Structures are given as structure tokens and as C-alpha cells.
Structure 1
Amino acid sequence: MATDQADRQIGAEYHGPVTVSTFGVEGRAIRLVRPSDPDRLLDDPSVHAWNREDDYMPYWAYLWPGANMLAEAVARCWGGVVDARESEVLELGCGLGLAGLAAMGLGFRVCFSDYDPAALAFVGRSVRENGLDPDRCSTLVLDWRSPPPRRFPRIIGADVLYERRLVPLVADVLARMLAPGGEALLATPYRVSAEAFPAAAAEVGLSCRAEAVATTTETGASQPGTIYRVFAQPLG
């Protein structure tokens, strides 16, 4: 697994107990390595320092409802892609990386990206736990405010529209990093902030289609939400 990681003076490395959870995604079992006690990060002095510097919170350590929603959408929408092994997927704000792992299981090469390097370390453990080829994935520390000059034919993101201020940032990242003719899938539980996304996408030249979906949470509850299918215009 290759890593493209910027230097960071403040970190939020997790040192507590770890568990492995198994999730069924469209008939495929995915094993996810995750912190057993993610709340302990809230008492970490480095987290407090980073929060003061940049309003940071260690959201990566929790499995949010949109993650399973997105993993199911990836399998449903892209499960029959013939050229999967030749196509690379970027996961935005990957956190624990459930959807990216689902994409790897379909044969895609995946670049897992997050603002916190600690998340990417856990993703690497999950890749190994599932017996997936580490040479088929990479990691990227990504600040949406300054995306690198890279393009991907497919981009995914779960629960990345949870605040209004993030909506134009996500739209801009997609406009900059989605290759011409490419497609992105964004999953969100029903959140008021996410309703502004289609207009934000249109402002940066992307087309967007909303699909109502539902998933089952870890507690067995039904969670409704939305999948935004986003398309970049092809060249010419």
C-alpha cells in the first residue's frame, strides 16, 4: 500500500483496544478493523490542540450510517463494471474505509483519503484483514481546501455533507478531482445541510441525480438517506 502523506505536527493516533466487525454488503462479507472505544480520543491532548488550531474532531474513528449506505451503493451501481481492475476509485473522507473496501472487493484500485493519517492506518489493517492485495490501494492525506492536481474516474464519499460549510468544499473537490466523464457517489442520511449539494454541484459544472435509499444500521434500525450520483462532463 503506497502512501502520499503530508507532514503534520499534530496527530490523533488511537492507542486503545481494537475490534473487528463483519458487515454484509450485497452478499459479500467485509471485515472492518476499528477502535473499540473511539470516545477515548476525545480526551487526547493532541485532539484538543488540533481542535483549537483547525476545528478538528476525530470523526474517522466512528462508523457513520452513510458508510454502509455508500458501500451498498458502490456494489449496486458499479458491481458490473467490466474494466474494474483498470479503474481507480478515490474515497473522500474515508474514515474506516468500508465503502472503499467494498470497491476493492469488486476489483477496483482504491485511493483512500482522509484529513487524519490515523484513519489511513486503520484502513491498511482492514485491507490485510480481508486478504485484499495491498498493491491495489494507496492512501492520501487530503485537505479539501487544497486538493492536489490529480484526477480519478470514480470518487466516493459517505457522510461528507454533514455541515453546510462543507457542501461547496465537497463540490469543488469533485470538480477538481473527478476526471472528465467520471462519476461520483455520495451517501448521506437525511441531513438538512446536504439538500444544498445539487445546487452547489451545478455551480461548478457537475450534474447530479438524487436517489432515495435506505440501509440497516448496526442496531438493526432502518436508516433512510440519499445517494447523489454526480457526473463530470466529458471532454469535447
Structure 2
Amino acid sequence: MSNTSLHFSWHWEDTLIAGKLRPLAAASDPDGMLLDACRRQDEGEQGVIDPFWATTWRAASGLDRYLDRVDIFNRRVLEVGCGTGHAGIAAALRGAHVTMTDGVDDPLHLVRLSLARLGLKAEVRVFRLGEDTIPGDPFPFILGSDVTYLRELWPGLLATAETHLADDGQMLLSDPQRVIGNEFREWIADKPWDYHEETIALEDDPGHPIRIMRLTRSR
């Protein structure tokens, strides 16, 4: 079913989340939205952000599956760059208390629709990496799927971890084995963080596993 109650078209998309097919609100024409953003940028319009959030990336599916390996039940979880919210919703379905964030409003409208449809509760808010803060205690877990694809994001990502990750917490990041992910691994090597890497194979494409990057504070 398609819908245009927002200023862009969206639809319900059956998505494998926490082991079951569940409805996820998704943009109906992410390619068209990206082309429109590029056109507006070319015309000199200020403040236009590429809508990469409009697609549910494979990295979110990998992070979803990885959550079976960690105990997040009844724990506080912060998701950054949530996009359509796949990973954060997966955490909520596993019993976590989730705060879902993105740097812009548009994807958060979809997240709220999905949470309501699934009968889940989570805090949903705009949060810009390295700029905004969330009051209260730090989080035992920070999640981010495909948030290392731009070098410009890396300092803000670590600044967010410095401020919002508990001392014994884990930041769990995922990416589809991008070359720039290798560069992120090298970049963080001299930072005060311990880096551990694993891979998760997805059933629909086992030949292209998702990389999971687990960051903890150096002791």
C-alpha cells in the first residue's frame, strides 16, 4: 500500500527484522528523491541533504542479526543515523529501551509510523553527530548502520561516543565491506578506542557478508 501523507511517497515494506517479516515504512522512490536533491544542489539551493536515509541498507540487516549475539534486553540503546529505523526497531523488539535518531526530520516520520504499526515504544529525535547532546545517563550501546561511508562523519561519530557511551559500553557499527570502511579501521587505530571486527552473512546474499565493527574504550 502506497501513501502520500508525508511530502514524499512512502509504502509499507515487509522486512525481515528480528527473525520475522514485519512492516517497515519506507520511501517509495529513493532514487528519484536523490536525483531531485542533486538537481536542487546543482541549482545552488542551500541546506539540501542527500536522502540516503530513504533506502534500508543491507548493513542494517547485518546489525540486526548481530544483536542476537549481545544482551540488550532491558538495556538503553542509542541508534545514530537510523534512517528507516531497521536496527533500532530490531533492538526494541529484543526488549531494549531505544532512542532512535537521525540528523534530519524526514526519516523520523517513517520511524514513528513503523513503531506505531508494530506497537513499539521508543524515543525518536533529531540528533546531529558531534553537535547535539542527549541529557541523562550514557548509553550501554550505540548502534549505527552504514554511518562510516563519509570521512567527514568520523570525528562526529567518535565525539558522540565520547559523550554518550557508558565507560564499559559498546558502539556497534556495520557496513557492507566498503573500502572506506577499511580506511575507518586504519583511521581509528591511533585513537583511544579498541576495535574488534566480525562478519555476518545474510541469507539473501551469503557471498557478501556485512562487517560489524565493535568499539570499546581503551583501558
- TM range, smaller chain: 0.7 to 0.9
State the aligned residue count: 212
1:64 is the counterpart of 2:57: yes
Query: Could you tell me how far 1:232 is from its partner in structure 2?
Result: 2.8
Deviations 1:162-203 (A, max 9, x none): 123323332232222211111111000111111133344454
Residue aligning to 1:111: 99
Percent sequence identity over matched residues? 28
Residue aligning to 1:172: 159
Point out the more displaced range, 223-232 or 39-48.
39-48
The aligned amino acid for 1:56 is: I
Deviations 1:24-48 (A, max 9, x none): 3453333211112223323657983
Distance (whole Å) between structure 2 residues aligned to residue 90 and residue 199 of structure 1: 25
Note the residue ranges of structure 2 that are not aligned, 5 or more in a row. Answer: none
Distance (whole Å) between structure 2 residues aligned to residue 149 and residue 20 of structure 1: 30
Residue aligning to 2:86: 98
The aligned amino acid for 1:114 is: D
1:30 is the counterpart of 2:22: yes
The aligned amino acid for 2:145 is: A
Distance (whole Å) between structure 1 residues aligned to residue 149 and residue 48 of structure 2: 14
2:46 to 50, 53, 78: 53
1:148 to 106, 114, 133: 133
2:33 to 27, 37, 41: 41
TM-score, length-normalised on structure 1?
0.78
Distance (whole Å) between structure 2 residues aligned to residue 19 and residue 72 of structure 1: 24
Whether the aligned pair in 1 keeps the contact of 2:175 and 2:212 (CA below 8 Å) is yes
| C-alpha distance 45-183 of structure 1, shift in aligned 2 (>3 A) | closer
Query: Could you tell me how far 1:55 is from its partner in structure 2?
Result: 6.4
Residue aligning to 2:13: 21
Whether the aligned pair in 2 keeps the contact of 1:181 and 1:233 (CA below 8 Å) is no
Distance (whole Å) between structure 1 residues aligned to residue 112 and residue 134 of structure 2: 24
Residue aligning to 1:228: 213
Please, what is the CA RMSD of the aligned residues?
2.8
Whether the aligned pair in 1 keeps the contact of 2:37 and 2:51 (CA below 8 Å) is no
TM-score, length-normalised on structure 2?
0.83
Distance (whole Å) between structure 1 residues aligned to residue 174 and residue 8 of structure 2: 29
Residue aligning to 1:127: 115
